[in-house]
Amino acid sequence: MKPVLFTGAGVAIITPFNEDQSVNYDRFCQIVEYQLKKGTDAIVVCGTTGEAKTLSTEEHVRLIKLCVEVVDHKVPVIAGAGSNDTHYAVTLSNEAEKCGVDALLSVTPYYNKTSQRGLITHYNYIADRVSAPIILYNVPSRTGVNIKPETYAALAEHPRIVATKEANGNISEIAQTAALCGDNLSIYSGNDDQATAIMSLGGKGVISVLSNVVPGVAHEIVQKYLDGDYIGSRNLQLEWLDLCNVLFADVNPIPVKEAMNMMGLDVGPVRLPLVEMDEPSKAKLRACLVKHGLLEG
């Protein structure tokens, strides 16, 4: 049985920018501190929600280093370090390890893509060249690549491949992965709206966009389930389902950064090629935040 990195809701933290789209490092540190105060269970830095693919290597590594320093071992820090270039993924992973991260998040190769056999070769190549545990990241809507259950079973044989952030949306495939891998692979929901469902299949929690806005709620959805309050977890999941959905009404992280700005958390704009939400979408987002008492009407 492999060790479990964390249970609960880990925030896929945003990267705040200044109006000129430069990284606002001071604000980033404040947001990390805010997450810690609100009870987040882990911090995933420089992932999709952190707009990692528009960050330079220098920006990427500096954000990871700052996150590790601010967190100071209070919760696990997991660094996005994947790439569609296997050799660059190793380089970035090694840089993240030097910063003292607890684990690496490694997205499937995107754009150039690969086969299932290629995924096994790609990930084993990385895992052989790092010392930190690896969380695979399966998000076919972004990458065009889906990790099949049988591929997970092969990858889980590597001692440093310990978990997956599963965002393919296919509960049947996730069940098959759980059946094939057992305790060899921890499964985290990569979709907030499926957290309870995936935990019913043995999942350990969620890597959450919702946590940027309401970290306490995301934590409670998972904690209730872990405590055996399955109905409470389900009810809370359904109560906040509308916000989970509206946070994906546009390309992530456009809506979540807009929501945080509306709430006065001051995270700045998204970085090109992403652009801000249109006015009708903003109105729907605002109405949802008002409904949940996160904004005044």
Share of the chain above pLDDT 70, in %: 100
Helices (H) and strands (E) in the chain, counts: 13, 8
Task: List C-alpha distances in Å: 21 to 58, 140, 203, 267, 271.
Answer: 15, 28, 36, 11, 6
Residues present in the chain in total: 297
Taking 90 as the threshold, does the pLDDT of residue 73 lie above it?
yes
Number of domains comprising the chain: 1
Residue with tokens 């919702």: 210
Residue 34 falls inside a structural domain:
yes
What pLDDT is recorded for position 248?
96
Q: Of all residues in the chain, what percent are helix, strand and coil, respectively (each to 5)?
A: 50, 15, 40
The mean predicted confidence, pLDDT, of the chain is: 97
Residue 72 falls inside a structural domain:
yes
The pair of three-digit structure tokens given for residue 96, joined into one six-digit string? 């993240």
Distance CA 223, CA 207 (A): 14
Residue 22 falls inside a structural domain:
yes
**Is there a contact between 160 and 134 (Cβ–Cβ < 8 Å)?**
yes
Residue 116 falls inside a structural domain:
yes
Amino acid at 223: Q
**Is there a contact between 108 and 147 (Cβ–Cβ < 8 Å)?**
yes
Active site residues: 137, 165
Q: Each residue of 84-101: pLDDT tens digit? A: 999 999 999 999 999 999
What pLDDT is recorded for position 180?
98
Please tell me whether the overall predicted TM-score, pTM, comes out greater than 0.95 for this model.
yes
β-strand partners of 45: 79
174-192 mean pLDDT: 98
Residue 289 falls inside a structural domain:
no
Taking 80 as the threshold, does the pLDDT of residue 13 lie above it?
yes
Residue 248 falls inside a structural domain:
no
What pLDDT is recorded for position 1?
79
93-111 mean pLDDT: 98
Q: Which residues contact 22 (CB under 8 A, 6 or more apart)?
A: none
Residue 252 falls inside a structural domain:
no
Q: Each residue of 226-277: pLDDT tens digit? A: 999 999 999 999 999 999 999 999 999 999 999 999 999 999 999 999 999 9
What pLDDT is recorded for position 87?
98
Taking 90 as the threshold, does the pLDDT of residue 182 lie above it?
yes
Residue 293 falls inside a structural domain:
no
Q: Give the domain CATH number at 155.
A: 3.20.20.70
Q: How confident is the model at residue 8 (pLDDT cuts 50, 70, 90)?
A: very high
Taking 90 as the threshold, does the pLDDT of residue 127 lie above it?
yes
β-strand partners of 110: none
45-69 mean pLDDT: 98
Which residues constitute the domain of residue 164?
8-229
Structural element, H or E, at residue 192: none
Taking 90 as the threshold, does the pLDDT of residue 58 lie above it?
yes
What pLDDT is recorded for position 105?
98
**Is there a contact between 204 and 6 (Cβ–Cβ < 8 Å)?**
yes
What pLDDT is recorded for position 297?
74
Beta strands in the chain (DSSP E): 8-12, 42-45, 77-80, 103-107, 134-138, 161-166, 186-189, 205-208
Beta strands in 185-291 (DSSP E): 186-189, 205-208
What pLDDT is recorded for position 221?
98
Distance CA 138, CA 66 (A): 26
What pLDDT is recorded for position 113?
95
